[in-house]
Structure formats: C-alpha cells, structure tokens
Structure 1
Amino acid sequence: MSKGALALLIHGGTDNWSPERWTARFRAVCHDRPILLPPEAKRDPAKVHYAAVWKPSPGDLACFPNLKVIFNLGAGVDALMADKTLPNVPLVRVAVGDLTGRMTEYVVLHVLMHHRQELYLRDQQRSKRWVPKFQWPASAISVGIMGLGTLGADAADVLGRIGFRVAGWSRSKKQVDGVACFHGDGQLDAFLRRTAILVCLLPLTSETRHILNRDLFAKLKRDGPLGAPVLINAGRGGLQNEADILGCLDDGTLGAASLDVFAQEPLPVDSPFWTHPKVVLTPHNAADTDPDEISKYVARQIENFEAGGVLDNVVDRARGY
C-alpha cells in the first residue's frame, strides 16, 4: 500500500526556509513517502494525508478531503486558528529541544543585558566615557515569566540557576520546581507587583491579545535596582499594545524593552521602535529553530501515528494553543 503524501504549504520562506529546501529535507527523512508542493498536491488532493505548513493562505488546506494531520512548522498557531475553513483534524505544533534551547538562550541573553546595564554601557562606549555604575547581583532582581509551558519553564529554570528570583504566571495552574507560580486573573496583580523584568512567552488567543498594555505595566515592580521595570516579549506581536509600549517608555512607566515580535512583520521602516533609545529590537528570531530538526520531528510523528501511536503536542482548539 502506498503511503499518503505529505503536502508542503510554505509561504514567505526565504533561504533556509524556502519551499525547495523544505522539500529536500522531508524527502531525506520520509523515505518513500511522496512530498508534494502546492501545484502538484492540488492536482490530486485525495492522495494528501498530511500537511506541513508555514503561514498558509486561508483556505489552502480545505481542498484536501483525506487530510489526517496538520503540522505547523512554527510554534505559534494563532494565524492558522484564524482560518475558518481549517479542516477538523489534529493540528500539531512544533516542540523540539532545539526550539526550547534557542528560546531560553534569547530570554537569558536579554534578561542579562538589562540586568548588567548594557544599554547604558554601550551608550557610554559610543561617547568614549569611562563612567561605571554600581552593579547589583542577580539575586536582587525579580524576573517574572508569563507563560509556563515548555519554553517558559525551561527559561525559568536557567534564570533561577544563574541566581535571579524567578516567578511565573499562566492562565491555568502550573507547578515548576524552584519557581513561584501564579495563575489566573485573581493572581495576576500579585505576580506583577513582584516583577522587575517581565518576560512574555504567552500564546496569542482572544484572552491574551493586547495583554501587554499600560494598565499591566503600571502594576510592575518599581522599587528595585532597575528603577523602572523592563519588558521582554518573545511571544507573539498581537500580545502587545504597541502604542502603550512606546508611551510607557517615553514617560518612564517602562525603563526599557526587548521586542522580538510585532503586530506587523517585517516591521515598517517608519516604526519608532527602530530608533527608540530604550528598545532592543530583533527580527522575530528568538527561537529560530533548525529546520532539519523540525522535519525529523514531523517524520517521527507521522511514523508513530501510522503505527497506532498518539500524536504529541496537539493543539487544543478550544484554548487556542
């Protein structure tokens, strides 16, 4: 019996993320399974049993009548969930060790950057001024992580081992060793009051859209060594009210921000974020995962599924992640 084909619906990819590169990867790990790009896949849609996608257009997946599983090649699934024609089959998100490790690298890098006063020091370097400031220890800084899934829990563990006082908040109750865990609307304010550096790794849902706003920033800790609190968002652009972030940076409600995601990407050239002196900006590459590891992950999931096993990391459509 021939194996059901895997269709690759990849839009906007360049270089290492181009459809052609993905085709070569999947052919290397899926053995004799047909790997089809959209023109060929849509000529005989009944043979397609699986789809691996990145930013497909709405309606792209609705034409496959025998589709069994959709694999999203990135971590965030909010764009897919917005497609009202999305087939009612399991939607699997990427959760590989490489992605987790890279996100933890990003979070730790940016927490340390603000903790060690890098914005000030680089400004002094450009001015050729030798004016060191007192440097407090990591134990003086309270870091709060919004989102205690696999990514948030791993970042919290590493930050705790460095010496930061780490807390976490999630929509539902979680327990992470060594982390003060808060959950739900009733415990959000208590979490914010103790947080000097806020790291956001939440998924984007109807409940979390624009959760990063002025009202939330005003509740963050203000009496620690940093003075004004710091925001680090490596989750989704839709989590942040960007006008509020800019206003809070300008009036001192926020002391600085590291932003990896934005409402519009690529970020328009006229965006004030590009040149704001209190912003560290990155081009949505916090967890820019090795595509080879992703393709192997998808191939293993398909093999296990066809052998009667259970798919890992299936999205709960009711919750949106």
Structure 2
Amino acid sequence: MSIMIITQRKEIAPWVKALQERRPALEIRVYPDGGNYDDVTFALAWNHPLGAFREFRNLKCIASMGAGVDHIMKDPDLPEDAVITKVTDENLTNDMAAFTLGLVLQHVRGLSEYEAQQRQHIWRRKAYKRAEDVTVGVMGMGVLGAHVARVLRQTGFRVNGWATAAKPMEGIKVYAGEGELSAFLAQSDILICLLPLTKETAGILNRGTFGKLPKGAYVINVARGEHLVDEDLLYMLDAGHLSGASLDVFREEPLPAGHPFWRHPRIHITPHIASVTDPETVVPQILDNYDRLQRNEPLINVVSRQKGY
C-alpha cells in the first residue's frame, strides 16, 4: 500500500522525509507519479490540480495537509465515497493566537504609525487605548478562533465571538447566525476573520459588513483571501470608515506586484505566515488515519461535506 502526495504549492521534501522517518516501509508516491493509481486508497493533498482525484478510482481518504479543506472541497470531481480529513495541531493553534495577538497590539499601540514616522524622522507621540477599552470580535469559533478569543481575553481585551451556533465560553459572548451578526459587528473595534471558507462565508468581508462596524474599526483577515471583497475594503478605507487592515491571505498568492494593497498606507501585508503546518508534528495523526483506513476503523478529524469544514 502507499500514500500519494498531490500538491501544487507545498514543498514536498519535508513531508516525504517526515513520513519515511516514521514509516520506512511505507511507499510514498508523488503525483503525477507514473505508476498504477488503482492501488492508491489514501491521498495527502494541498491545492491539488483540480480534477486530479478522478484519476484514482479506489480513493477512500483525502487528507488535507493543513487545517483548511476549502482547496479540496472546491473540486467539482471530488470522489463521492472518499472521506475528507484535516489536521489539528497545538502548534498551529498557538502560532495563530500569537500572530493575531501581535497584530492587535500593533494596531492598538500604533506601532505601524511610529514605523512610518521613523522613516520621516518624526518624533510625535500618539494617544493609545488599553486592552480593557477595546472590543475584539472574532468571526469563526472553531479550534483556531476559540483559542484566539481566549488568548485575547486573557490579555485583557473585551472579546466577542460569532459562529453558526451559540457556544458557552467563559468571559466571551458568542453571537450566533445571521440574525445576530449585526449586533456582533456593531461592538467590534477590531474584527478578526477566522471563518472556514464555504459558499456561505465567501465574500463576507464586504462593504455591508464593514458598514456595520464602528467608525474607525480595524480589520484582520487570517482565514482565506476569498473571504474579502478587495474593492470594498479599499472603498471603506478611503472613505474613512475603517482605520486600517492587516491581511495575511489573498485571493491570488503571491499577491500580484500591481495590486493596490501593496501601496495602500493603511494596509499591513504578510505572506500567509500566520500559522504554518509543520510536517514533523502532524504526520503522526496522518499515519494514524492511514492505519485506521487499512483496519476499516473510523477516521479522526473528519470533515463534514455538508458544512464544508
């Protein structure tokens, strides 16, 4: 038996190394391997070429190489009988929380403005708010979003969450569904998007959403580029309703050289590095699922096709 790696963006060598170190006898193949695809039942994928899965007639599991699965779910030729899984990793969760906390503090303390002042040799102090005077709204209360919300709350920020369904969290009010979105947005001085990308959430960061935020609100997107309507962000920034935005994800990556985000003075850009999967830490759970598949046992971290996450 074998594991087939199918990806267009991930660096493959670290994954092959991590898999072989833990399972030397297991055959690791990389698409488009020229061998017989009929014996492949387990695929490890990230941003695969759309339609590639239809070449594997006996595929039973498609394992995402990361926490996101939208890159798999968007394939119109997704095998109906294949189970889709994702990875969960404490390092990923902690990295995301540290990164978003850093962005929030950077905004609240005005560090980007001081960086700009330094380039102009300007010495000018700016008033700042304390954590307890700022409300952060976290969109998406899955594993990542819930942990980010808890870390921000522990740091002293007022924190609200928004999810498809209400969930109890100590010190954090979680708004639920479309009916409570407006109330959630109205209190969010800083809005963080950590939603899964689905048909329902694509384009949710738009002019209508931004218009319900308090004037001067700040937007952070560390989920997916497709959540954001680029033109609407630029409009609301230039209209003065939003004070700025930090973007780690984009509709096209790398971000094209001519994109207006690069030169906008109130947009902070990072190259999709908020939280990066380490093969060494997640390969054990991938091999666990591989073994479960061979034994016809239930897999872990299974994704709901209906929900899309």
Is TM-score (shorter-chain normalized) higher than 0.5? yes
Are the equivalent residues in 1 in contact too, given 2:139–2:194 (CA < 8 A)?
Answer: yes
CA distance in 1, matches of 2:243, 2:259: 19
Q: Specify the SS of the correspondent of 1:295.
A: helix
CA-CA distance at 1:231 after TM superposition: 0.2
Match 2:220 to one of 226, 232, 255 = 232
1:68 to 50, 60, 72: 60
- What secondary structure is seen at the aligned counterpart in 1 of 2:52? coil
1:264 to 237, 252, 255: 252
Matched residues in 2 for 1:51 and 1:30: separation?
A: 16
Give the corresponding residue for 1:151. Answer: 144
The answer to whether the 8 A contact 1:96-1:297 is kept is no
Q: CA deviation at 1:303?
A: 2.7
Shift of 1:309: 4.3
Select between 248-257 and 292-301 the one with higher mean Cα deviation: 292-301
CA distance, structure 2, for counterparts of residue 134 and residue 56 of structure 1: 48
Asked if 1:210 is matched to 2:203, the reply is yes
Aligned partner of residue 53 in structure 2, secondary structure: coil
5 Å matches for 1:68-87?
68-87=60-79
- Following TM superposition, by how much is the alpha carbon of 1:260 offset from its aligned partner in structure 2, in angstroms? 0.7
Q: Work out the CA distance in 2 between the residues paired with 1:217 and 1:10.
A: 35
Which whole-Å CA distance do the structure 1 matches of 2:173 and 2:77 have between them?
Answer: 41
Aligned ranges for residues 295-310 of structure 1 at < 5 Å?
295-307=283-295, 309-310=297-298
TM-score by length of 1: 0.92
Q: Does 1:22 align with 2:15?
A: yes
One-letter amino acid of the counterpart of residue 255, structure 1: S
| Equivalence map 1:135-284=2 (5 Å) | 135-222=128-215, 228-284=216-272
What SS does structure 2 have at the residue aligned with 1:110?
A: helix
Q: Deviations over 1:172-207 (max 9, x none)?
A: 222222211101011001101110000000111111
Contact kept? 1:147, 1:169, Cα under 8 Å: yes
Q: 2:276 aligns with which of 272, 288, 301?
A: 288
CA RMSD of aligned residues (A): 1.5
Structure 1 residue 39: Cα displacement: 4.0
- Alignment partners' CA distance in 2, 1:104 and 1:308: 36
State how far apart, in whole Å, the 2-side matches of 1:304 and 1:104 are.
Answer: 31
Residue of structure 1 in register with 2:304 after alignment: 316
Alignment partner of 2:35 out of 33, 40, 43: 43
One-letter code aligned to 2:91: D
Are the counterparts in 1 of residues 137 and 185 from structure 2 also a CA contact under 8 Å? yes
Question: Unaligned regions of 5+ residues in structure 1, if any?
Answer: 223-227
Deviations 1:55-78 (A, max 9, x none): 111121122222221111122222
Question: For residues 219-264 of structure 1, what are the alpha-carbon distances to aligned partners after superposition, in whole Å with 9 as ceiling and x for unaligned?
Answer: 1123xxxxx0000000111101000001111111110000011111
Which amino acid counterpart does residue 8 of structure 1 have in structure 2? I
The CA distance in 1 between the partners of 2:298 and 2:98, in whole Å, is: 30
What whole-Å deviation, never above 9, does each CA across 1:8-64 have from its counterpart, x for those lacking one?
A: 112133xxx2x2332222111233221111243x52112212110111111211222
Deviation at 1:307, TM superposition (A): 4.6
Structure 1 ranges of 4+ moved more than 4 A: none
